[in-house]
Amino acid sequence: MNGKLYPNHAMKRYMTGLDGLRAISVLAVIAYHLHLKWAQGGLLGVEIFFVISGYLITDQLLYEWKTFGRISLLQFWVKRMRRLLPAMLGMLLVVAMWLLLTDPSRLISLKGDFFTSIFYINNWYLIFHDVSYFESFGPPSPIGHLWSLAIEEQFYILWPLVLLIGIFLAPRRGKLTLLILIGAAVSAAAMAILYEPGSDPSRVYYGTDTRAFAILIGAALAVLWPSSKLNSHISSPARNVLGTLGVIGIALLLIQIHQTNEYDDALYPTGFIYLSILTAIVIAVLVHPANRLEKIMGCRPLSWIGKRSYSLYIWHYPVIILSSPEVNTEDVSYTRIILQLAVSLVMAAISYKYIEEPIRRKTLRGYLYSIRRSGYGSQLGLVAAMMITTVILASWLMGWQGWNSSSSASPVIDSTISSQEAVQPQSLQYDPAKETNQAMPADPVTKDSSGSGEGITAIGDSVILDAAPFLEKKLPGIVIDGKVGRQMTQVDDVIDSLKSQGKLGQTLIIELGTNGVFNETQLRSLLTSLQDTRQIYLVNTRVPRDWQDRVNASIQKVADDFHNVQVIDWYTASANKDQFFYQDGVHLKPEGAEYYASLLADTLQQNHTY
């Protein structure tokens, strides 16, 4: 393993087992974007892709170096562009046409996303414009997933040059591997230094500098474990070891996809490092010609998905975003999910067959010549029509929802909503199931809940601001302190300020969690400091973002440990009431704000708070 990187004319083979790993990765990402709770760690699929790319590209470059004594940089870059760019441009063109027909203002607002995606710098564009991957509101960008392709393409451009320098500086495998791992350690250290626990991790999530270690770990494996040098003639015990490592590794990857949460502090960077090393072990098994998992991981269904994983990745997200309702207070719609999956698979299959494969296997001139000669142009026109028709049909089946928006994302909620967007008042009926340790009135509107608000203080974000006029009417004298974008981490300062002004009452309502996750320690510390308060009500949240369930679980778990704390279950109370919300799914229309205020006022009355 410490020999020089000398020429080697061994034939390169196709490693079908990696198709299965690609399939697992892209399906995990899709499940995550569909908000399926059993795949809350599906974002880790991108990390798996990074490690695979690092291994395969480095393995290919070293194979060329060993075989021919050189690396053709221009040929490598042309092949990468031919492999990746046409399919992405096809997707961008269809999305742009769709937005042009349905929502031109949204297309204009996304011009920066389109431009930077084409030039593979989208991740840095999102960083410099403070666009959060986790804590953004409004309709997401339908091409917001292309940040990861930007990282990979930046790697493809720079890595061959860096690898050549590394080969000359350290021609022995051991030294070259060490240099690569040092680079990986620097990248991991950058993630650890830049990440602030309890804060939005988007900077370290998007950054090429902070995510490069996954690619470099794959690259280091390619130096130590080149596919062309692996021999299928190994002993039976060695085969058993390979099989055992592969099974355990894949099982652990699936467990991580199931259990990991993007807000776990341990994920940055130790969790990502662990996953990258685990993925490298699985790759080492799957690329070995003697591994016994080849038939399983390379089976036809997984192989089909794996070979089209790139197409599926670039198409699934715009399909999901452009066919999902902006406001959805109902349970998961499996009909919608099945349709979204079907459309994604169809689009990926069309892209793979008619764009990726023909262009990848021919020069552009030869490809265009073959189209003219075979009369293929009419077929491509038919394919384009099928692609657009598929999107239109799926969108029609899903209710034509989710089209009106003005921006891709913003770090916090904007509380300014046009009054013209209000709909006619609906019947405010409320009949949630009773739950232990949760304060919930039987019907917050059918009874008179007017009472004195003296001694009551409400602290919150823009949601409490929406309800403020109605709360002040139902509870005259209540003190309301709301601010757009407020986080739980800021509430200590708010309480200190209210105390100094003599405005902090003995009954406290806290409505926070709309703008992002907080850890349980923060909330527990806050409630401990307020133990002299007679009664505290924590209002849980309804927000169409991934942190919603974690915020609500944390609120309930911590509240159970304090005798003077109760949870007001806004999440359950607002179920199946889309008409209460504006298009962001968070801000309340007048009838929703009145309903919210009635829920709070009736809860306080039931508990004789005033």
Q: Of the listed 33, 35, 316, 587, which one is catalytic?
A: 587
SS3 assignment, position 543: coil
Largest interatomic CA distance in the chain: 87
- For residue 13, the model assigns a pLDDT of 73
Residues 262-276: pLDDT tens digits?
878 789 889 999 999
Q: Are 340 and 323 in contact (CB under 8 A)?
A: yes
CA-CA distances (angstroms) from residue 285 to 124, 289, 294, 296, 609? 34, 9, 9, 13, 64
Measured in residues, the chain has a length of: 610
Q: Hey, which residues does 509 pair with through a beta bridge?
A: 458, 537
CA-CA distances (angstroms) from residue 48 to 18, 256, 271, 549? 11, 12, 13, 26
Q: Is the pLDDT of residue 15 over 60?
A: yes
Domains of the chain, each with CATH number or no CATH: 17-397 (no CATH), 419-606 (3.40.50.1110)
CA atoms within 13 A on the CB side of 355: 23
SS3 assignment, position 566: strand
| 170 Cβ contact list (under 8 Å, min separation 6) | 176, 178, 179
Neighbour tally for 334: CB within 10 Å = 9
Q: Is the pLDDT of residue 445 over 80?
A: no
Residues 278-296: pLDDT tens digits?
999 999 999 999 999 988 9
Neighbour tally for 357: CB within 10 Å = 15
Q: Among the residues of 5-43, which ranges form H helices? A: 17-33
DSSP string, 272-309: HHHHHHHHHHHHHHHTSTT-TTHHHHTSHHHHHHHHTH
Q: Are 338 and 166 in contact (CB under 8 A)?
A: no
What is the helix (H) or strand (E) element at residue 568, kind and residue range?
strand 565-568
- For residue 408, the model assigns a pLDDT of 37
Neighbour tally for 87: CB within 10 Å = 23
- Read off the DSSP letter of residue 587: S
Q: Is 584 a catalytic residue?
A: yes
Q: Is the pLDDT of residue 587 over 90?
A: no
- For residue 606, the model assigns a pLDDT of 84
- For residue 382, the model assigns a pLDDT of 47
- When the pLDDT of each residue in the chain is averaged and rounded to a whole number, the result is 83
Q: Is the pLDDT of residue 143 over 60?
A: yes
CA-CA distances (angstroms) from residue 1 to 59, 61, 177, 221, 229? 15, 18, 11, 12, 10
- For residue 566, the model assigns a pLDDT of 94
Three-state secondary structure string covering 377-439: HHHHHHHHHHHHHHHHHHHHHCCCCCCCCCCCCCCCCCCCCCHHHCCCCCCCCCCCCCCCCEE
Q: Of the listed 462, 554, 574, 598, which one is catalytic?
A: 462
Q: Is the pLDDT of residue 428 over 70?
A: no
Report the range out of 134-143, 226-235, 308-317, 458-467 with the highest average pLDDT.
308-317
Quick one: what percent of the chain has pLDDT higher than 70? 81
Q: Are 250 and 242 in contact (CB under 8 A)?
A: no
Three-state secondary structure string covering 253-271: HHHHHHHCCCCCHHHCCHH
SS3 assignment, position 234: coil
What's the rounded Cα separation, in Å, for the pair 214 and 237?
30
Whose CA is closest to 305, among 41, 32, 27, 28? Answer: 27
Q: Is the pLDDT of residue 520 over 90?
A: no
- For residue 544, the model assigns a pLDDT of 80
What's the rounded Cα separation, in Å, for the pair 315 and 238?
41
Q: Of the listed 408, 584, 598, 602, which one is catalytic?
A: 584
Whose CA is closest to 286, among 304, 303, 298? Answer: 298
CA angle at 28 for the pair 275 and 22, rounded to the nearest 5°: 75
- For residue 263, the model assigns a pLDDT of 77
Q: How far is CA 217 from the centre of its chain?
A: 22
- For residue 183, the model assigns a pLDDT of 97
Q: Is 132 a catalytic residue?
A: no
CA atoms within 13 A on the CB side of 233: 0
- For residue 372, the model assigns a pLDDT of 62
Task: Give residue 533's pLDDT band: very low, low, confident or very high (50, 70, 90).
Answer: confident
Q: Are 484 and 414 in contact (CB under 8 A)?
A: yes
Structure tokens at 186: 């620097």
Q: Are 490 and 464 in contact (CB under 8 A)?
A: no
Q: Is 129 a catalytic residue?
A: no
CA-CA distances (angstroms) from residue 197 to 40, 201, 206, 428, 521? 19, 8, 16, 40, 12
Q: How far is CA 604 from the centre of its chain?
A: 38
